């Protein structure tokens, strides 16, 4: 050991391995019980410590992987305060010019635990710090057994998703109630294993809660393969979402094509005619007074007829052009086969209860997740379809308050498309609905899960509402800065390693974990993975045969538009 470590640290250390009955070899240092540095400066959330380079080199050869990484950026160290151990994460390192062989490091305090009298290990770990150390306190490496105690479940329901870095046997757990109760976000650049990790987390949740209620919006049709056995797969062929479930704002998005002043004129006409169409239903007659937003079935042919009649009135406030614009758009929707999943004449019956029970999995019957594949939905109404589904989740939760609460998890893949930042905002209803769920959903038992590769394109307020953030590798500087701003202060040391994460590695911090974790996700079985693997160009471009038939089949599907 160096002169600094023997003189400074030699007096006030815990019991060595020999003193507690261990048997290290002749001349071998018991790294777990020998200090590696001292505290030099204390601040509220983070502090400075001085590390001895020779001691770090000695620890690097230790068989315990946690001790071997002691003092490195992202590793954990511990400091004794009275009868407790404080755990800290190393954020930065730099050479100490005043002390040869010395290193100055910034650390963030994560939490504290009690000391086991015989072995000096940590137990009963909890987040937060009640008593800070004083400058001069000794710093020790955190061992594998320490981390096992720290990351052990405290008895709350949890799902295990991988191993804590750098260990191979300490499991990384997420507390389900806190994870879902305060929303979560899964972030990562393309190719980092984000889709597979999302599938892993949802599989674990479904295994833990086979009678759960999960609705996932899948814009690329990736997740159908992953949940074919454990969920209900809905796409344009079997979604059958009634058009009359749309509220007035969503009707405007679909049926109005004008802009500027003309749009307001068209909206006033549509509101008047839509209200009359809804009032023709017996349900509306029984209820007495309804609003234009009420999910009352009506016939598209009735709406067209009412618009035609209004257009023929002599006392109308404008020319016939606005009426013709709306009527032509409605007729186009009715006749276009791409819109049949929503605007079919077969969807006029009052199937609202059955539709909600189907998409919310009420009852689940062992298939707690419904995957809504919107990849086949025409692009001009995709955001409206997502808005309707999201609003149904929110409205159902509000009107079911007096019932026994059935929480619903809404997972939105490619979330930046639907809840864009102000710079990319397109004033669509889906952004407002998802923003409202992020802000108010927790009160009504709605959990929101956002998955995105571009967090910087997300609305700021939405990401800040996510209590748990799972960040995989992010290559873009703006994305990294955006995520750091949304993370709690104590996890900043972990966040600095985001650009250096390998595939399937992540940083988890927030309400769903006891303390921030760097973890490696488990391998997922082949049949549970989403269809999101990158194609092998060399393999596919070195084989041939059957191309003409493949092109013919593709053209047929193309022309049929998925029918």
CATH number at residue 192: 3.40.50.300
Q: Measure the CA–CA gap between 328 and 334, rounded to whole angstroms.
A: 10
Number of alpha carbons in the 13 Å side-chain half-sphere of residue 169: 8
Q: What is the mean pLDDT of residues 304-320?
A: 84
Q: Measure the CA–CA gap between 371 and 531, rounded to whole angstroms.
A: 14
Final residue of a structural domain among 338, 356, 387: 338
Instruction: Determine the pLDDT at residue 563.
Output: 53
Q: Measure the CA–CA gap between 7 and 25, rounded to whole angstroms.
A: 23
Instruction: Determine the pLDDT at residue 24.
Output: 47
- Asked whether residue 17 carries a pLDDT value surpassing 70, the answer given is no
Tens digit of each residue's pLDDT (9 = 90 or more) over 477-495: 889 888 888 776 556 667 7
- Asked whether residue 126 carries a pLDDT value surpassing 60, the answer given is yes
Tens digit of each residue's pLDDT (9 = 90 or more) over 140-187: 999 888 888 888 777 788 999 999 988 888 899 999 999 999 999 999
Q: How confident is the model at residue 250 (pLDDT cuts 50, 70, 90)?
A: very high
Contacts of residue 534, Cβ cutoff 8 Å, sequence gap at least 6: 191
As for how many domains the chain has, the answer is 3
Q: Which class for 537: exposed (0-12), middle (13-18), buried (19 or more C-beta within 10 A)?
A: exposed
Q: For 35-39, 108-112, 118-122, 281-285, which range has the lowest pLDDT when averaged over its residues?
A: 118-122
- C-beta neighbour count of 553 within 10 angstroms: 11
- Asked whether residue 13 carries a pLDDT value surpassing 50, the answer given is no
- Asked whether residue 23 carries a pLDDT value surpassing 50, the answer given is no
Instruction: Determine the pLDDT at residue 4.
Output: 44
| Length of the chain measured in residues | 563
Domain containing residue 367: 171-240+345-533
- C-beta neighbour count of 22 within 10 angstroms: 13
Tell me: do 384 and 441 sit in the same domain. yes
Contacts of residue 131, Cβ cutoff 8 Å, sequence gap at least 6: 81, 82, 84, 112
Q: What is the mean pLDDT of residues 424-428?
A: 74
With respect to residue 234, please indicate whether it lies within any of the assigned structural domains. Answer: yes
With respect to residue 304, please indicate whether it lies within any of the assigned structural domains. Answer: yes
With respect to residue 557, please indicate whether it lies within any of the assigned structural domains. Answer: no
Instruction: Determine the pLDDT at residue 317.
Output: 66
CA angle 425, 428, 432 (to 5 degrees): 85
Q: Give yes or no for a cis peptide into 277 (omega within 30° of 0).
A: no
pTM of the full structure? 0.86
With respect to residue 443, please indicate whether it lies within any of the assigned structural domains. Answer: yes
Tell me: do 394 and 475 sit in the same domain. yes
Tell me: do 406 and 508 sit in the same domain. yes
Tell me: do 512 and 375 sit in the same domain. yes
Final residue of a structural domain among 310, 338, 366: 338
Distances (CA, A) of 115 to 39, 78, 81, 155: 19, 11, 10, 20
**369-373/231-234 β-pairing:** parallel
Tens digit of each residue's pLDDT (9 = 90 or more) over 199-214: 999 999 999 999 999 9
- Report residue 216: phi and psi, to 5°: -115, 130
Instruction: Determine the pLDDT at residue 491.
Output: 64
- C-beta neighbour count of 37 within 10 angstroms: 30
With respect to residue 434, please indicate whether it lies within any of the assigned structural domains. Answer: yes
Tell me: do 296 and 184 sit in the same domain. no
Tell me: do 60 and 83 sit in the same domain. yes
Tell me: do 212 and 261 sit in the same domain. no
With respect to residue 71, please indicate whether it lies within any of the assigned structural domains. Answer: yes
Distances (CA, A) of 208 to 137, 201, 225, 362, 378: 44, 11, 20, 17, 36
Tell me: do 296 and 368 sit in the same domain. no
Q: Are 531 and 224 in contact (CB under 8 A)?
A: yes
Whole-number percent of the chain with pLDDT over 90: 50
Q: Measure the CA–CA gap between 230 and 206, rounded to whole angstroms.
A: 8
With respect to residue 559, please indicate whether it lies within any of the assigned structural domains. Answer: no
With respect to residue 515, please indicate whether it lies within any of the assigned structural domains. Answer: yes
Instruction: Determine the pLDDT at residue 33.
Output: 86
Final residue of a structural domain among 304, 338, 372: 338
Tell me: do 189 and 266 sit in the same domain. no
Tell me: do 521 and 400 sit in the same domain. yes
Instruction: Determine the pLDDT at residue 466.
Output: 92
Tell me: do 249 and 233 sit in the same domain. no
Tens digit of each residue's pLDDT (9 = 90 or more) over 55-85: 999 999 999 888 998 888 888 899 988 888 8
Tell me: do 182 and 125 sit in the same domain. no
């Amino acid at each position: 050991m160096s002169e600094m470590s023997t003189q400074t640290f030699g007096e006030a250390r815990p019991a060595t391995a020999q003193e507690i009955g261990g048997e290290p070899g002749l001349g071998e240092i018991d790294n777990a019980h020998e200090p590696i540095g001292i505290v030099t400066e204390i601040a509220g959330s983070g502090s400075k410590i001085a590390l001895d380079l020779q001691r770090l080199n000695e620890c690097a050869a230790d068989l315990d992987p946690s001790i071997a990484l002691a003092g490195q950026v992202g590793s954990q160290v511990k400091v004794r305060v009275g009868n407790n151990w404080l755990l800290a994460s190393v954020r930065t390192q730099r050479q100490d010019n005043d002390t040869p062989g010395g290193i100055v490091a910034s650390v963030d305090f994560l939490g504290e635990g009690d000391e086991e009298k015989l072995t000096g290990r940590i137990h009963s770990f909890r987040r937060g710090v009640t008593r800070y150390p004083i400058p001069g306190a000794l710093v020790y490496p955190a061992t594998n057994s320490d981390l096992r105690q720290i990351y052990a479940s405290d008895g709350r329901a949890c799902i295990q998703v991988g191993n804590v870095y750098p260990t191979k046997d300490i499991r990384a757990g997420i507390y389900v109630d806190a994870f879902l109760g305060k929303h979560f976000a899964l972030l990562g650049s393309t190719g980092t294993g984000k889709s597979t990790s999302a599938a892993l987390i949802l599989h674990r949740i479904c295994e833990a809660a086979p009678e759960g209620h999960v609705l996932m919006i899948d814009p690329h049709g990736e997740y159908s393969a992953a949940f074919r056995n454990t969920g209900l797969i809905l796409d344009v062929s079997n979604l059958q979402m009634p058009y009359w479930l749309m509220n007035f704002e969503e009707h405007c998005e679909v049926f109005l094509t004008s802009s500027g002043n003309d749009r307001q004129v068209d909206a006033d006409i549509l509101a008047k005619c839509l209200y009359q169409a809804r009032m023709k239903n017996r349900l509306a007659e029984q209820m007495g007074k309804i609003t234009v937003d009420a999910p009352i079935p009506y016939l598209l042919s009735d709406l067209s007829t009412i618009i035609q009649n209004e257009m023929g009135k002599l006392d109308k406030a404008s020319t016939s052009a606005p009426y013709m614009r709306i009527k032509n758009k409605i007729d186009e929707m009715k006749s276009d086969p791409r819109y049949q999943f929503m605007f079919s004449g077969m969807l006029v019956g009052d199937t609202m209860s059955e539709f909600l029970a189907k998409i919310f999995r009420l009852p689940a019957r062992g298939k707690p997740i419904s995957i809504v594949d919107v990849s086949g939905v025409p692009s001009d109404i995709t955001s409206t379809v997502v808005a309707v589904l999201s609003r149904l989740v929110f409205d159902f939760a509000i009107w079911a308050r007096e019932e026994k609460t059935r929480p619903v998890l809404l997972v939105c893949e490619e979330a930046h498309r639907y809840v864009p930042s102000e710079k990319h905002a397109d004033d669509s209803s889906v952004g407002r609905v998802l923003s409202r769920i992020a802000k108010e959903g927790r009160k009504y038992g709605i959990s929101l899960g956002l998955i995105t590769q571009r967090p910087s394109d997300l609305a700021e307020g939405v990401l800040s509402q996510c209590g748990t953030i799972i960040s995989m590798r992010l290559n873009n500087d703006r994305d990294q800065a955006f995520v750091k701003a949304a993370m709690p202060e104590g996890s900043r040391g972990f966040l600095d390693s985001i650009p250096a994460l390998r595939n399937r590695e992540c940083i988890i911090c927030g309400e769903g974990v006891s303390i921030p974790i760097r973890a490696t996700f488990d391998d997922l079985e082949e049949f549970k993975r989403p269809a999101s693997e990158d194609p092998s160009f060399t393999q596919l471009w070195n084989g041939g045969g059957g191309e003409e038939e493949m092109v013919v089949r593709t053209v047929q599907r193309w022309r049929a538009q998925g029918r």
